[in-house]
Amino acid sequence: MKVVKFGGTSLANGAQLEKVIRIMQADSSRQVMVVSAPGKRFSNDQKVTDLMLSFAKIVLAGAEDSHIIQTIVNRYLEIAHYFKIETTELKLTLNKKLIALKQQHYPNFDYLYAAFIGHGEYLNAMVITQILNHIGCHARFMSPKALGLQTTGSPLAATLDPRSYQQMAWLTLDPQEIIVVPGFFAYDDQGYMTTFKRGGSDITGAILSHGLKPTLYENFTDVSSIFIASPKIVSHPMPINHLTYREMRELAYAGFSVLSDEAIVPVIQDSIPIQIKNTNAPDADGTLIVPQRTNDLSLLPITGIASDTRFAALYTHRYLLNSEIGFTLKLLNILYRHHISYEHMPTGIDDLSIIFDKQLSSPAQFAAMRADIARELHPDILEWYDDYAVIMVVGEGMANNPHIINDILTPLSQNNIKISMINQGASRISVMLGLPVNQAQLAVQTIYYHFFGQ
Ligand SMILES: Nc1ncnc2c1ncn2[C@@H]1O[C@H](COP(=O)(O)OP(=O)(O)O)[C@@H](O)[C@H]1O
Ligand SMILES: N[C@@H](CC(=O)OP(=O)(O)O)C(=O)O
C-alpha cells in the first residue's frame, strides 16, 4: 500500500487533477490520497490557501466579502466543470460552508485563521471525492477527525498528539476504494480546527504513513526531482537521486520548500521511504529519501545547498560575558516571558547571537523583547538584524572531509561575500552560514558553481 500526497500545484485546475487521477489509477496500491488546496495555475495567480487568508482578513475587518467568496467558490467550480459535473448543488454547498465559517465561535484570531485556511484543503478533498465517484472511481472522503488526528500547540503551527496513532491503527482499507484525506489541518482536543505550519499537507502525508505503514510515501509536486540547489536560485541545477532523512530535514529546514522539514520525523521510526515525484512527468524517477544512502559518499562533496531568508538575528556583546553566571539564563527568561522561541544561539567569549524565525513571532514581540534585554542585561552592544539569511550546506560525505569548511568559505571570500556566522552541526553533515539577505542568492550560486561547475 502507498500513501500519496499531491501538492497544490498538482491540483491547481481540472487538467492537473486529471493527471492526478491517472496517477492514482495507474497503481492499485495507491490507496490513500492526501490532497492540498488548489495551488497557483500560473505564476502570478493566488493559491486557494492565500485566498482563504484574504477572506479571513476581510471578515475580521468587517468589509464586504461577497467578491472573495465568489472567487474561492469559482476555483472549485472551475475544477468540477472540467469533469462535467452538474454544479448547482455543489455551488450551494461551497457557499454555505464559507458563510458558516464566519458564524462559528473561535477562542481567538489564530483559531479563526486556522479554520479559514484549513478549509482550502477540506473543500478540495470534498470536491475531489465527488469527482472521483462521478467518473466511476470508488472514493471516500475521510476527515482528519475520523482518522483521530488530534493536535496540541498553537493553532497555526500545531503538532500532532502522538496518541492519535492509536485510532489510525484501526483503519481497514478496501483495495477497491481510494481514501481521500485533506492535508494541512486537524483538530485540537476542544474540537477546534488547527493547521500544521504552511506547506503542512506534507506533514499529514507523513503522519498517515507512520499510522498506516505503507511501503512508500509518494509526494507528487511540480519538479522531477529535488535539485542540489533551488531552481529559483541556480538555473538547471543537478538533480539528487537519493537523500538521507537527516540531509533532507536540514535542507528542508533551510529552504528546500519542496518538502516540509516536519514531514521527515514521522516516517523515521518505520524507515518508510519518501519518493518525490512530478505530477507532470510521473515516469521520471524522482528523488528517494531513505534512512541511509548506499552509493559512494566520497564521490559527493556535498549533497545540497539551501537558503532561507525568514530569519532575524540579535547580536549582544558584553565584556566577561563568558564568566558571568546566569547571563544566558536571564536572557532566555526574557525570551520565555515574551513567548519567543529561538532557532540558534552561537556564542563567543564576550558575544552571543540569537537567530530567530520571523514567522514565529511578531515585530511587536521582538521589539518588547529587545527593550527588556537592554533594560535588564545592559549589554555593551545590542544590535538587531531584521534581514538575516541562513544557508545550509549539507552532505553525509562532509563528515569525513577535513577541507570542507575551507572549500565553502574560500570562493565566498573571493566574491566579497561577508559571512557573519558559521556553525558546523554536531552531526558534522552540515555547515550553517548566516549572512545578510541581499547576499544569500549570490552565496548559494557561488558555492554551487565552485563544487559543480557552471
Ligand atoms: N532544491 C530544490 N529542488 C526542487 N525544488 C525546489 C528546491 N528548492 C525549492 N524548490 C521549489 O519547490 C517547489 C515545489 O514545492 P511546492 O511549491 O510547495 O509544491 P506543491 O504545490 O507540490 O506542494 C518547486 O517548484 C521548486 O521551485
Ligand atoms: N495549502 C497549504 C498546505 C500545503 O501543503 O500546500 P502546498 O502543497 O501547496 O505546499 C499551504 O498553502 O500552506
Regarding whether 158 and 35 lie in a shared domain, the answer is: yes
CATH number at residue 26: 3.40.1160.10
Distance 227 CA to ligand 1 centre (A): 9
Regarding whether 168 and 309 lie in a shared domain, the answer is: no
Regarding whether 318 and 198 lie in a shared domain, the answer is: no
Q: Where are the beta strands (DSSP E) in 250-363?
A: 274-278, 287-290, 304-317, 351-357
Query: Is residue 203 domain-resident?
Result: yes
Q: Are 274 and 263 in contact (CB under 8 A)?
A: yes
- CA-nearest of 375, 339, 223, 231 to 285 is 223
0.90 cut: is pTM over it?
yes
Regarding whether 145 and 47 lie in a shared domain, the answer is: yes
- CA-nearest of 83, 81, 58 to 69 is 58
Query: Is residue 253 domain-resident?
Result: no
Q: What's the domain count of the chain?
A: 2
Q: Which structural domain range is residue 182 located in?
A: 2-223+258-263
Q: Are 407 and 450 in contact (CB under 8 A)?
A: yes
* Residue of 10, 223, 253, 287 to mutate, ligand 1, most atoms within 8 A of C-beta: 223
Domain boundary among 263, 280, 313: 263
Measured from the Cβ of residue 394, the count of other Cβ atoms closer than 10 Å reads 29
CA of 316: how far to CAs of 114, 382, 384, 386, in Å?
A: 36, 5, 9, 15
Angle at 441 between CA 440 and CA 446, to 5 degrees: 100
Regarding whether 420 and 330 lie in a shared domain, the answer is: yes
Regarding whether 313 and 215 lie in a shared domain, the answer is: no
Q: What are phi and psi of 59, to 5 degrees?
A: -65, -45
Question: If you take atom 10 of ligand 2, which residue's CA is the nearest one?
Answer: 199
Q: Is 237 in the pocket of ligand 2 (CB under 6 A)?
A: no
Spell out the per-residue pLDDT of the chain, length 454, in tens.
999 999 999 999 999 999 999 999 999 999 999 999 999 999 999 999 999 999 999 999 999 999 999 999 999 999 999 999 999 999 999 999 999 999 999 999 999 999 999 999 999 999 999 999 999 999 999 999 999 999 999 999 999 999 999 988 888 899 999 999 999 999 999 999 999 999 999 999 999 999 999 999 999 999 999 999 999 999 999 999 999 999 999 999 999 999 999 999 999 999 999 999 999 999 999 999 999 887 655 567 799 999 999 999 999 999 988 788 889 999 999 999 999 999 999 888 899 999 999 988 999 999 999 999 999 999 999 999 999 999 999 999 888 888 899 999 999 999 999 999 998 877 789 999 999 999 999 999 999 999 998 8
Query: What is the atom index within ligand 2 of the atom nearest the CA of 37?
Result: 1
**According to DSSP H, which parts of 282-385 are helical?**
327-337, 363-377
Task: Give the ipTM.
Answer: 0.97
* Residue of 16, 47, 223, 359 to mutate, ligand 2, most atoms within 8 A of C-beta: 47
Regarding whether 348 and 202 lie in a shared domain, the answer is: no
Query: Is residue 248 domain-resident?
Result: no
Distance 47 CA to ligand 2 centre (A): 8
Q: Is 255 in the pocket of ligand 2 (CB under 6 A)?
A: no
Query: Is residue 434 domain-resident?
Result: yes
pLDDT of residue 300: 72
How many residues can be counted in the chain? 454
CATH number at residue 327: 3.30.2130.10
Q: Is 49 in the pocket of ligand 2 (CB under 6 A)?
A: yes
Regarding whether 316 and 213 lie in a shared domain, the answer is: no
Q: What residues does ligand 1 touch, defined as CB less than 6 Å away? A: 7-10, 36, 39, 199, 221-223, 226-227, 229-232, 256-258
Query: Is residue 439 domain-resident?
Result: yes
Regarding whether 159 and 49 lie in a shared domain, the answer is: yes
Q: Are 117 and 71 in contact (CB under 8 A)?
A: no
Query: Is residue 292 domain-resident?
Result: no
Measured CA to CA, the distance from residue 414 to residue 416 in angstroms comes to 5
Q: Are 25 and 139 in contact (CB under 8 A)?
A: no
Query: Is residue 437 domain-resident?
Result: yes
Query: Is residue 244 domain-resident?
Result: no
Regarding whether 71 and 217 lie in a shared domain, the answer is: yes
Domain boundary among 237, 263, 289: 263
CA of 98: how far to CAs of 70, 105, 284, in Å?
A: 10, 14, 39
Q: Is 10 in the pocket of ligand 2 (CB under 6 A)?
A: no
Angle at 77 between CA 72 and CA 81, to 5 degrees: 160
Regarding whether 198 and 103 lie in a shared domain, the answer is: yes
Domain boundary among 263, 294, 320: 263
The cell 499510522 sits on which residue? 211
Regarding whether 218 and 354 lie in a shared domain, the answer is: no
Q: Is 119 in the pocket of ligand 2 (CB under 6 A)?
A: no
pLDDT of residue 298: 54
* Residue of 36, 119, 223 to mutate, ligand 2, most atoms within 8 A of C-beta: 36
